[in-house]
Amino acid sequence: MGKTRKEFEKAAEMLSMARDEDEVVERMTYIVKGFSSAMYREMVWKNPYYRDLFQEIRESVMEDLDNLEKALRDEIYSIEENLKGKGSEISEKLKDLRRDCEMLIEEIGAKREEMKSI
């Protein structure tokens, strides 16, 4: 997330020019994954076609978020295993990486909650 309003408007324009359902799904998925729901919520709910597709897209995005969170948790476990008996310089880098993973998991949780609220 964290993309600008201008980037969203460009993505929405590309969505409106989609030629078939596959393109619509691809472009809506890009929007749902990449932008805050505050930017796209009204656009989706005003259009019955988008609204119907959104339910399917939301399920797919939630599954992707679950898989990403699992991969990050696996990475944290691996980091913790590697921290055992390592030198202090390597340990600090691994601890930084672990913190980054934990922050990403928090962001995933926030995105998941955002998706549930729509």
> Residues 49, 64: contact at Cβ < 8 Å?
no
> Residues 36, 1: contact at Cβ < 8 Å?
yes
Q: What is the pLDDT of residue 7?
A: 94
User: Which residues of the chain fall short of a pLDDT of 70?
Assistant: 1-2, 86-87
Q: What is the pLDDT of residue 78?
A: 93
* d(C-alpha 16, C-alpha 12), whole Å: 6
Question: What are the sequence ranges of the domains in the chain?
Answer: 5-116
Q: Report pTM.
A: 0.80
**DSSP character at residue 35:** S
- 18: tokens are 């989609």
* Residue-wise pLDDT tens digits, 25-48: 999 999 999 998 899 999 999 999
Which of 10, 6, 12 lies closest to 32, judged by CA?
A: 12
**DSSP character at residue 113:** H
